[in-house]
Structure 1
């Protein structure tokens, strides 16, 4: 994909969305769920879409919330439901719709104490932590949660994701039931929806307000050595990218006496303050050097700079020595540091997605730690983080979580806060920033070259790619190296990849369709050089094209 000429530059007037039109479309447009593009569909991070495309409208949200209320009853989930929202324009109306349906169904909904006054945003990891801490002492009335967010998607999008009582992203079996039931409800004309007028719902005794910020911040020293950061006087520049954690950072700074400077305090649901991403769209991707251009420009003003996406389940780490770190490089650093600076059981696994860097494999081997490679999607780490058999779970898209300092569960969903603060802890404890730490790792274990490309794919092409197996790959070599493995199932849990991964001694590629967009993605890595990486990518594209051609597409 070519880089847009305005990538990394300020958004222009024509790049900004019409919020009034978008919210009107949310309430007035009616989806046709017989069309694949307009039905409720849960990808790896919930249901996402845009009101103007009739893929995220009030019908979707009230049907999803009705389906979840029914799922709760069927599965004896009678505790509170923690409800959060991020700063996207569609999150506010969807939040109101969710309250109206959930309260009507007798669900005790708990929200941030200022969530009804136009602010009160709640990050994804906070919902996960709330669920976990509640359920430790309330086994008879377990809690679950909903987060209204499309993550880092453009301002025109909306999203909703469900976290059951384990606190992490719902697994496929649950989301399949929810999406099927939601589509049935919409098809039947919404007759099964229970819904109260909004004002009646918010005045109900079933709606509870709590201080989510204080609750989460007060526990952070259980997972991060905040005292070490404070003692070292590490200066931290923070750009929340207009996201849901913006009100948390000042509280963190005050509570732990940290030198934190929030460099961008703007909350604007059009995200007009954002530099344009690589494709010329506004996208709050904290792993993109284009979206993070503002923070990168002031990297020398701080010891560590960090950014997060709108629901704060991702992290971006910027250092004076290396600029914005490649997410894979930082994951390897975080894993190596934690495994050598935490007193965790040596049997705890390191969890990685199969498209994450093989540098992580080499770190695990060097430290004699068990490694578990799973398909794309953080849901595959939930069980291991919940029972503390996984010390760390991380994915290539800059999302991760890890155990508390005492070896207990922290969150079972991605936590951008703790990965950001860990960067400061690493510098405070070792005297090396994460990029300097990475250079030492790479010198010992090898310098990886990592790339990802995307291409437009029809629904039929995505289905073909999902169904590929080793039998469909006739090639014996990749970029001059003998092919050692062709995987259609992940080694860590034997779950289907939803595509293929081809491995050699010096590199690999994986090809899989997006769960939320009309594209497919190729991930690749070389431990030789960038030219070798490009050869891998070209041959990978040729293999995918051949598969499409063989299917008559």
Structure 2
């Protein structure tokens, strides 16, 4: 934690945009450096041109690989292409469109030359494919590094199901892209002339919100709502939502600046558009008493932050529990057997809420991609991650998006307050009265590359400890109970606490998520013993 966390950015904190864009055009990646290869994480390929990790060469190769992959999969329709407000997003979109055009793939871009939030692109894919024949299915490219710092770029592929591509697809695309780069991109087709077609992402997305939310109740309540897009792609969406539905909604800060000079610094001194961080949201929190409800989104609006006058910035886990409690008691059109989806590092409070609702819990590994098939068919009506990402189905139980939707979850907070007369913070307090008050935290521990590899392949039976923080261990998991997929780490549970350990994909650390219903001191004990248990399992790795 830096002492400057939560303080305004200074000029020397800001990225040099000219240098960033120059490196994008001019730098050629060195594939002998693993950090400069194409690597798809849970949310696409990310990196900075300044590090040789996100350049014109990368994006041309990735786009060519996507063209070849979609052809192999039989995807013949046009492809939606949208970008957020990061400085590298615009040139990356230009590169992608040139490659798509040369390959004869029709691209659909925003009709207003506007930025495109991730959920709006997912919504567009699903809307287009609803009645389309198999040979005319559409897919999409989202150009965003999400909440990452201004120096970064990101590139993500969403297949015709509308959600993030699965590991089979991303592995194929990354492998092919690196082959193309190794060959000097000689097999990449490209042309300067681009004939992209317009698509009104904003209009279609905003017009459909009435099918998933009770915005009439919000309007009738007279709630004073503040929405801060944090300089991201949702800025013009919020303005249209206010106008279309007659809401007393103010776009708190409509500024778009690729340096994000108006932001406050995150915990580590970096500019990061994370709406779940009290440090990054410090300037938003200064307005908490000016509105009945205040929300924030990250740069591509797939994450949400909820601020109430009585509770401040809500912990994402707390809000997920509130959203689930409310939705499953206020959506009579949902399937009676629709499950509640959560990632295995999300709060056990969700488990207790699910049990109280009499609903099946579906627990999956980290990554929103795991929710896609079940959101599509309505067997899971809500899917949420501890990192402030979630989506749910429409009032009639049909799919809305298969990617995270921060705009939707932010607006839901207003519906909850309008319908119940309570803020989400107040409802969470009621939940703790019923189910207990858990303490939750994520910390990092150092690990070598070998140790991270070992941790990612650990099996539950590698844990020899029988107790955790004074309680008998009841489960040691290396696979998610919901779908049996590998965790890429492990989770250890007792009757009142748990921890999960996963290797970081970008740093020499592993992440320890932990929660205890025994209070903060017991949580600290769980964290200490978790590190010892993991270190013992890793042994001499």
Please classify the TM superposition score into its range, dividing by the shorter chain length. Answer: over 0.9
- In the alignment, the residues of structure 2 paired with residue 178 and residue 184 of structure 1 have an alpha-carbon distance, to the nearest angstrom, of 10
| Alignment correspondent of 1:189 | 184
Question: How far off is 1:543 after superposition?
Answer: 2.4
Tell me, yes or no, if structure 1 residue 258 matches structure 2 residue 252.
Answer: no
| Alignment correspondent of 1:386 | 376
Question: How far off is 1:545 after superposition?
Answer: 2.9
- In the alignment, the residues of structure 2 paired with residue 548 and residue 23 of structure 1 have an alpha-carbon distance, to the nearest angstrom, of 42
Match of 1:293 among 278, 282, 286: 282
Task: Tell me, yes or no, if the aligned pair for 2:335 and 2:378 is still in contact at 8 Å.
Answer: no
Tell me, yes or no, if structure 1 residue 429 matches structure 2 residue 419.
Answer: yes
| Alignment correspondent of 2:55 | 57
DSSP-derived class of the 2:34 partner: coil
Question: How far off is 1:459 after superposition?
Answer: 2.9
Tell me, yes or no, if structure 1 residue 511 matches structure 2 residue 501.
Answer: yes
> Structure 2 matches for 1:193-272, cutoff 5 A?
193-197=188-192, 200-201=193-194, 204=195, 207-272=196-261
| Alignment correspondent of 2:308 | 319
| Alignment correspondent of 1:136 | 130
Tell me, yes or no, if structure 1 residue 15 matches structure 2 residue 13.
Answer: yes
- In the alignment, the residues of structure 2 paired with residue 189 and residue 411 of structure 1 have an alpha-carbon distance, to the nearest angstrom, of 37
Question: How far off is 1:189 after superposition?
Answer: 1.3
Task: Tell me, yes or no, if the aligned pair for 1:388 and 1:403 is still in contact at 8 Å.
Answer: yes
- In the alignment, the residues of structure 2 paired with residue 454 and residue 299 of structure 1 have an alpha-carbon distance, to the nearest angstrom, of 31
| Alignment correspondent of 1:159 | 154
DSSP-derived class of the 1:242 partner: coil
Task: Tell me, yes or no, if the aligned pair for 1:464 and 1:547 is still in contact at 8 Å.
Answer: no
| Alignment correspondent of 1:466 | 456
Tell me, yes or no, if structure 1 residue 449 matches structure 2 residue 439.
Answer: yes
- In the alignment, the residues of structure 2 paired with residue 325 and residue 540 of structure 1 have an alpha-carbon distance, to the nearest angstrom, of 26
| Alignment correspondent of 1:86 | 84
- In the alignment, the residues of structure 2 paired with residue 98 and residue 519 of structure 1 have an alpha-carbon distance, to the nearest angstrom, of 33
Task: Tell me, yes or no, if the aligned pair for 1:63 and 1:182 is still in contact at 8 Å.
Answer: yes
Question: How far off is 1:527 after superposition?
Answer: 0.4
- In the alignment, the residues of structure 2 paired with residue 533 and residue 327 of structure 1 have an alpha-carbon distance, to the nearest angstrom, of 18
Task: Tell me, yes or no, if the aligned pair for 1:25 and 1:57 is still in contact at 8 Å.
Answer: yes
CA deviations 1:351-385 (Å, max 9, x no partner) are: 00000000000011111101100000000000100
Question: How far off is 1:547 after superposition?
Answer: 3.9
Task: Tell me, yes or no, if the aligned pair for 1:391 and 1:403 is still in contact at 8 Å.
Answer: yes
- In the alignment, the residues of structure 2 paired with residue 297 and residue 74 of structure 1 have an alpha-carbon distance, to the nearest angstrom, of 52
DSSP-derived class of the 1:525 partner: strand
Tell me, yes or no, if structure 1 residue 357 matches structure 2 residue 355.
Answer: no
- In the alignment, the residues of structure 1 paired with residue 87 and residue 140 of structure 2 have an alpha-carbon distance, to the nearest angstrom, of 21
Question: How far off is 1:56 after superposition?
Answer: 1.0
Task: Tell me, yes or no, if the aligned pair for 1:44 and 1:515 is still in contact at 8 Å.
Answer: no
| Alignment correspondent of 1:125 | 119
Tell me, yes or no, if structure 1 residue 440 matches structure 2 residue 430.
Answer: yes
- In the alignment, the residues of structure 2 paired with residue 208 and residue 79 of structure 1 have an alpha-carbon distance, to the nearest angstrom, of 13
The size of the alignment, in residue pairs, is: 539
Task: Tell me, yes or no, if the aligned pair for 1:316 and 1:327 is still in contact at 8 Å.
Answer: yes
Task: Tell me, yes or no, if the aligned pair for 2:445 and 2:531 is still in contact at 8 Å.
Answer: no
DSSP-derived class of the 1:306 partner: strand
Question: How far off is 1:549 after superposition?
Answer: 4.2
| Alignment correspondent of 2:271 | 282
| Alignment correspondent of 1:113 | 111
- In the alignment, the residues of structure 2 paired with residue 277 and residue 454 of structure 1 have an alpha-carbon distance, to the nearest angstrom, of 16
Tell me, yes or no, if structure 1 residue 48 matches structure 2 residue 38.
Answer: no
DSSP-derived class of the 1:209 partner: strand
DSSP-derived class of the 1:33 partner: coil
Task: Tell me, yes or no, if the aligned pair for 2:64 and 2:99 is still in contact at 8 Å.
Answer: yes
- In the alignment, the residues of structure 1 paired with residue 167 and residue 508 of structure 2 have an alpha-carbon distance, to the nearest angstrom, of 20
Task: Tell me, yes or no, if the aligned pair for 1:4 and 1:280 is still in contact at 8 Å.
Answer: yes
- In the alignment, the residues of structure 1 paired with residue 12 and residue 512 of structure 2 have an alpha-carbon distance, to the nearest angstrom, of 31
> Structure 2 matches for 1:469-484, cutoff 5 A?
469-484=459-474
- In the alignment, the residues of structure 1 paired with residue 6 and residue 178 of structure 2 have an alpha-carbon distance, to the nearest angstrom, of 39
TM-score scaled to structure 1, two decimals?
0.96
- In the alignment, the residues of structure 2 paired with residue 93 and residue 261 of structure 1 have an alpha-carbon distance, to the nearest angstrom, of 31
| Alignment correspondent of 2:37 | 39
Going from structure 1 to structure 2, the CA distance change for 1:137 and 1:517 (only over 3 Å counts) comes to farther
TM-score scaled to structure 2, two decimals?
0.98
- In the alignment, the residues of structure 2 paired with residue 133 and residue 12 of structure 1 have an alpha-carbon distance, to the nearest angstrom, of 43
Question: How far off is 1:544 after superposition?
Answer: 2.8
DSSP-derived class of the 1:464 partner: helix
- In the alignment, the residues of structure 2 paired with residue 465 and residue 60 of structure 1 have an alpha-carbon distance, to the nearest angstrom, of 30
Which sections of structure 2, spanning at least 5 residues, go unmatched? none
Task: Tell me, yes or no, if the aligned pair for 2:93 and 2:143 is still in contact at 8 Å.
Answer: yes
DSSP-derived class of the 1:394 partner: strand
- In the alignment, the residues of structure 2 paired with residue 543 and residue 54 of structure 1 have an alpha-carbon distance, to the nearest angstrom, of 37
DSSP-derived class of the 2:2 partner: coil
Which sections of structure 1, spanning at least 5 residues, go unmatched? none
Going from structure 1 to structure 2, the CA distance change for 1:486 and 1:68 (only over 3 Å counts) comes to same
| Higher mean C-alpha displacement, 409-418 vs 50-59 | 50-59
- In the alignment, the residues of structure 1 paired with residue 369 and residue 309 of structure 2 have an alpha-carbon distance, to the nearest angstrom, of 34
CA deviations 1:438-476 (Å, max 9, x no partner) are: 000110011110000124444323211101112321111
Question: How far off is 1:35 after superposition?
Answer: 2.5
